[in-house]
Amino acid sequence: MESNQSTPMLRQYHELKQKHPGTLLFFRCGDFYEMFYDDAVTGARELEITLTARNKERGNAVPMAGVPHHSAANHIAKLIKKGYRVAVCEQIEEPIAGAAGKKLIRREISRIITPGTAIDEQLLETKDSTYLAALVGGGDSWGAAFLELSTGEFKTTECTGKDAFKTLTADIESFAPREILFPESLAFVIKETFANSQNNLLTDARLDTASNEQSNVVNFPVKSTNQNGLTATLTPLDDWLFLDDYCEALLKNHFGVLDLAGFGLKDKTQAVRAAGACLRYVQETQRASASHIADLDYFEANEFMVLDQVTLRNLELVESQTGDKRRSLLGVIDSTVTSMGSRLLKSWLLRPSIRRGEIEARLSAVDELCDSMLRERLRVLLKEVADLERLIGRLNMNTATARDLLALRRSLAQIPNVRQTLAEAGSSLLQVLQENLHELPDIRNLIQTAIGENPPLNLADGGTIRDGFNNELDELRGLSRDAKQTIAAFEEEEKKRSGIATLRVKFNGVFGYFIEISKSNLSRVPADYERRQTLVNAERYTTPQLKEWERKILGAEERILELETEIFQTVRTQVAAETKNLQTTARALATLDALASLSENSCRRNYVRPKLHDGDEIEVKDGRHAVVEVFLNQPFVPNDLYLNNSTDRLLIITGPNMGGKSTSLRQVAIIQILAQIGSFVPAQAARLPIVDRVWTRVGASDDLASGRSTFMVEMTETAAILHNATPKSLVLLDEIGRGTSTFDGLSIAWAVAEYLHDAPEHHAKTMFATHYHELTELAERLPGAQNYQITAAEKNGEVVFLHKLERGKAEQSYGIAVAQIAGLPRTVLNRAREVLERLERYEIDVFADVVENKTATADNQVTSKDAHEANGLGAAVRRAARGKMAMQATLFQSVNDSLIDEIRQTRIEDLSPEAMRKFILDLQKKIV
């Protein structure tokens, strides 16, 4: 809070801070960026730096913490990665010598850095995209936009209908933005959707606009995580920033068009609102036009296969369950040699295509690149290409350095050779990419002639512009070099004239050039020397001649730096003028790299080209798990699989623990996903349809922060599948119902499987792995269900896992055998076998006892004439039940609710012996 005793500088700080709530203000004071008050407390804690205080001696101490300006970027990066927003305040004028304390230095916010608008190298992962998202709408109409500021990638979409919000939420999860913008009026909805109960504070990110009223939204912190693992900073903005007309005008002005129809945005109001808010936020925070955002791509939500965060995690597509990116599918298939290619490949994996033509084009390109000479030639050339996408972004944000321009020139120098290499390409995609590569010889020549070979990191250090590029600069440099030589000669002459061998001509920023003479030699100082400064051990002097040379030298050096800055900025602007062609070239190079990577991986790991078709059959011959086979210490056992939407749409997979049920499920999904990104697949052969979504429900996990148990998480994920799966979806269910009691879990698993089989709008191709062996009955009851098993064998009392997927049903799960392998004590294992034997006996007896109890009344109430026969029939029921259960002790046969209800509701005493005989026979048939 501002004190009445605040200094002018602190009042300046308060004024800037009030304009930028929700930020940590880095306030430049000389060589440091300082934070004050609550910002200082937060900054000191998060950065682990010293918290001190200002004005302690006056009794109104102000908390203060600071970092050196030269290391500020690393500290800011640390805060941004934690979800904070940082406003950088610079001094826009130099302090006047001798005027300390007399004049307040002018300061302004140069930039606001947020998690979604990072462009500095310290804030970016080279292989990951950093998206800013905006979400707007209400009811049955919602829009979203996604902007990658470092590269200029800009996409927008909208959805209508009762599931519009859920659809866009899935899109947001697939892009995994670092920051989500939304109107303040939607704060409650967004918080409920994207924030968990223990971390649901929002960042008030009001822009510096005409309205700077404080809101009730808490400033810090920052990051929020939803139930599916999406972590993002939630940033509410004033509602008026999402107004239709305002956003439309902003986009038209930025892209220089009269109408947005050319971007596919005709009558797409929500998409326009979201895109406009994104662009406005970037312009305001970066204090720049961001002209490298040169295009806006409208897409429909159904243009990609949907993979939500649950599926990404369960299939370990981008990182393993332990967080190891190398042991993920992306880690295995990513053999790219550029950062651009790696990011593009990841985006393909997160959003596989559902357009068959696009997929086939990629597959044909990958196929042609299997020519090792062609592929290796391209990869050698691509290794010399810099991250052009982000370099172009820095160019347009005026942060590109001279070294960036040299990297651009080296990259463009590869284009002629790449074009020549692709000159004879046969696939249509490679031909298109070759045509999209622009050599830009004028730009290469400009950089070559203007920028020195080894420019300094900082422009202020001088030497950025090459000799011979600018006549005035060459003359000034010559004058500077000659003057310095003259100064050196002057020093030698003065040594001889005065006889003082230790005389030195020196320079500093305060006094300029001066002659320094030690106290012991003062008696020899020439009479024409003018004293400038007295030190403890020496005196400093000047002469009229030295003053004149100083004026020329310093004037030349100041003008050299000024001129170099002007020239460099001109060159940078000229290069930036080719942004459109540079971006097209960068995109083509990234695509080439991604395709070559897929081809490299396919050739190295013996993948085959999948055959895509318009039907519904998934047919895989000797399929393998792309990741497991790489890290397995023994040969991977391949498996065949067949799925369709009629006879084989529900596969019930049983088998032992550790047998490979989960691996079989995942490998089918991975093969399908690889095919739809345009990759070859790990199999001997594969016929595949186009799938709109892969759903997974695998494993057990808590969400304690939201108060959700393991079973609640399981049921929530299962519910999402049941409500949204379509006949074009692929569903993987692993151990449904294991999070609750046996009877409850089995009942739910049975009902879920039936629903996915029977519901016309939801009967997706489903693989259902389970330890509930009772579910194998579904194959006998449902026309589209089939039993599969992961085989195992017992040899000399030991279980041998064969890892082979075959038709049929497993007899047991070998759980105790797995426990033995895991090292459980022998006494525990022996006791487990005893308990298992008792439980199995109990299971067999359950239904027989129920039947016996239900028929006791009949045995007691029939006439004496029929008593013997009735008792015999009752015994027959018990024998039939026990006999059947001895053959197959399935829980659903032993406690079949429908049969029990039928027995309970039948008045046995009213049946004649013939009717009872018929009743028992019918009962036996149903039990069998």
Confidence of residue 888 (pLDDT cuts 50, 70, 90): very low
At 763 the pLDDT is 82
Interval 675-729: pLDDT, tens: 999 999 999 999 999 999 999 987 655 443 444 567 888 888 888 899 889 999 9
Which two three-digit tokens encode residue 439?
């050599």
CA distance 645 to 728: 9
Which two three-digit tokens encode residue 513?
């050039």
CA distance 197 to 200: 6
90 strand-pairing partners:
108
Which two three-digit tokens encode residue 601?
């991986």
Identify the sign of the CA torsion 675, 681, 687, 688: negative
pTM of the full structure: 0.81
Contact status, residue 390 vs residue 151, Cβ threshold 8 Å: yes
Which two three-digit tokens encode residue 400?
């590109």
Lowest mean pLDDT of 365-374, 608-617, 649-658, name the range: 649-658
C-alpha of 839 from chain center:
47
More confident residue, 754 or 811: 754
At 120 the pLDDT is 82
DSSP alpha helix (H) spans, 141-255: 164-175, 187-194, 244-255
At 864 the pLDDT is 44
Which two three-digit tokens encode residue 236?
């509410």
Confidence of residue 164 (pLDDT cuts 50, 70, 90): confident
Distances (CA, A) of 335 to 124, 628, 632: 20, 17, 20
More confident residue, 844 or 508: 508
What is the phi/psi pair of residue 689, to 5°?
-90, -175
At 838 the pLDDT is 75
Q: What 3-state class would DSSP assign to 723?
A: helix
Per-residue pLDDT averaged across 515-539, rounded?
A: 92
pLDDT of residue 851 exceeding 80: no
Lowest mean pLDDT of 60-69, 260-269, 338-347, 464-473, name the range: 60-69
Most confident of 56-65, 762-771, 876-885: 762-771
CA distance 729 to 749: 19
Q: Sheet harboring 765-769: ordered strands across?
A: 693-697, 729-734, 765-769, 650-654, 785-795, 798-807
Lowest mean pLDDT of 199-203, 380-384, 519-523, name the range: 199-203
At 883 the pLDDT is 39
Per-residue pLDDT averaged across 282-286, rounded?
A: 90
| pLDDT, mean over the chain | 83
pLDDT of residue 580 exceeding 90: yes
At 790 the pLDDT is 85
pLDDT of residue 171 exceeding 90: no
Interior angle at CA 919, CA 917 and CA 923, nearest 5: 115
pLDDT of residue 55 exceeding 80: no
At 685 the pLDDT is 97
pLDDT of residue 873 exceeding 90: no
Share of the chain above pLDDT 70, in %: 84
Share of the chain above pLDDT 90, in %: 48
Residue type, 274: A
Per-residue pLDDT averaged across 357-370, rounded?
A: 97
pLDDT of residue 346 exceeding 60: yes
Interval 107-149: pLDDT, tens: 889 889 999 998 888 788 889 999 999 999 988 999 999 999 9
More confident residue, 89 or 812: 89
Contact status, residue 301 vs residue 157, Cβ threshold 8 Å: yes
Interval 412-428: pLDDT, tens: 999 999 999 999 899 99
Interval 286-311: pLDDT, tens: 887 788 999 999 998 788 998 988 89
Bond before 221 cis per omega within 30 degrees: yes
Lowest mean pLDDT of 192-201, 202-211, 716-725, name the range: 202-211
At 708 the pLDDT is 55
Identify the sign of the CA torsion 310, 315, 320, 326: negative
Interval 590-631: pLDDT, tens: 999 999 999 999 999 999 999 999 999 999 999 999 999 999
More confident residue, 444 or 701: 444
Element (H, E) at 474: helix 471-498
Per-residue pLDDT averaged across 349-373, rounded?
A: 95
pLDDT of residue 885 exceeding 50: no
pLDDT of residue 928 exceeding 70: no
CA distance 676 to 683: 15
The 8-class DSSP code of residue 96 comes to: P
pLDDT of residue 280 exceeding 90: yes
Q: Outline where DSSP puts E strands in 445-535.
A: 504-508, 512-518, 530-534
Interval 74-103: pLDDT, tens: 999 899 888 899 999 988 876 554 444 456
C-alpha of 425 from chain center:
34
Interior angle at CA 537, CA 535 and CA 543, nearest 5: 60
At 898 the pLDDT is 63
At 62 the pLDDT is 87
Confidence of residue 773 (pLDDT cuts 50, 70, 90): confident
pLDDT of residue 339 exceeding 90: yes
Which has the closest alpha carbon to 443: 411, 469, 417, 421? 411
What is the phi/psi pair of residue 25, to 5°?
-90, 115
Per-residue pLDDT averaged across 341-353, rounded?
A: 96
At 709 the pLDDT is 67
Confidence of residue 482 (pLDDT cuts 50, 70, 90): confident
Confidence of residue 820 (pLDDT cuts 50, 70, 90): confident
pLDDT of residue 189 exceeding 90: no
Contact status, residue 722 vs residue 734, Cβ threshold 8 Å: no
More confident residue, 777 or 608: 608
Per-residue pLDDT averaged across 531-537, rounded?
A: 90
At 879 the pLDDT is 38
At 98 the pLDDT is 43
Distances (CA, A) of 869 to 247, 879, 923: 87, 15, 17
At 797 the pLDDT is 61
Per-residue pLDDT averaged across 839-856, rounded?
A: 51
Confidence of residue 584 (pLDDT cuts 50, 70, 90): very high
Q: Return the exposure string of 255-276: e unless at least 16 CB atoms fall within 10 Å of the residue's CB, then b.
A: beeeebeebebeebbbbbbbbb
pLDDT of residue 395 exceeding 80: yes
Calculate Rg over the CA atoms of the chain: 38
At 842 the pLDDT is 60
Residue type, 156: T
Per-residue pLDDT averaged across 159-174, rounded?
A: 86
Q: What 3-state class would DSSP assign to 193?
A: helix
C-alpha of 464 from chain center:
37
Confidence of residue 22 (pLDDT cuts 50, 70, 90): confident
* DSSP secondary structure letters along 64-77: EEEEEGGGHHHHHH
Interior angle at CA 846, CA 841 and CA 847, nearest 5: 125
Interior angle at CA 296, CA 86 and CA 205, nearest 5: 25
Distances (CA, A) of 703 to 700, 715, 864, 885: 10, 12, 64, 40
At 860 the pLDDT is 47
Which two three-digit tokens encode residue 92?
């826009």
Distances (CA, A) of 389 to 338, 362, 616, 691: 11, 21, 39, 31
CA distance 369 to 841: 62
Q: Sheet harboring 24-29: ordered strands across?
A: 52-54, 62-68, 32-36, 24-29, 86-91, 107-113
More confident residue, 866 or 332: 332
Burial status of residue 314 (CB atoms within 10 A of its CB: 0-12, 13-18, 19 or more): buried
Q: Which residue is listed with tokens 């070294």? A: 403
Which has the closest alpha carbon to 691: 733, 736, 643, 646? 643
Per-residue pLDDT averaged across 782-806, rounded?
A: 80
CA-based end-to-end distance of the chain: 81
Per-residue pLDDT averaged across 555-581, rounded?
A: 91
What is the phi/psi pair of residue 543, to 5°?
-140, 160
C-alpha of 728 from chain center:
26
Which two three-digit tokens encode residue 224?
């929020």
At 455 the pLDDT is 92
Lowest mean pLDDT of 24-33, 562-571, 746-755, 873-882, name the range: 873-882
Lowest mean pLDDT of 32-46, 219-233, 376-390, name the range: 219-233
Burial status of residue 101 (CB atoms within 10 A of its CB: 0-12, 13-18, 19 or more): exposed
Q: Which residue is listed with tokens 């990072």? A: 118
CA distance 383 to 380: 5
Q: What 3-state class would DSSP assign to 475?
A: helix
Contact status, residue 564 vs residue 459, Cβ threshold 8 Å: yes
Per-residue pLDDT averaged across 253-268, rounded?
A: 93
At 868 the pLDDT is 41
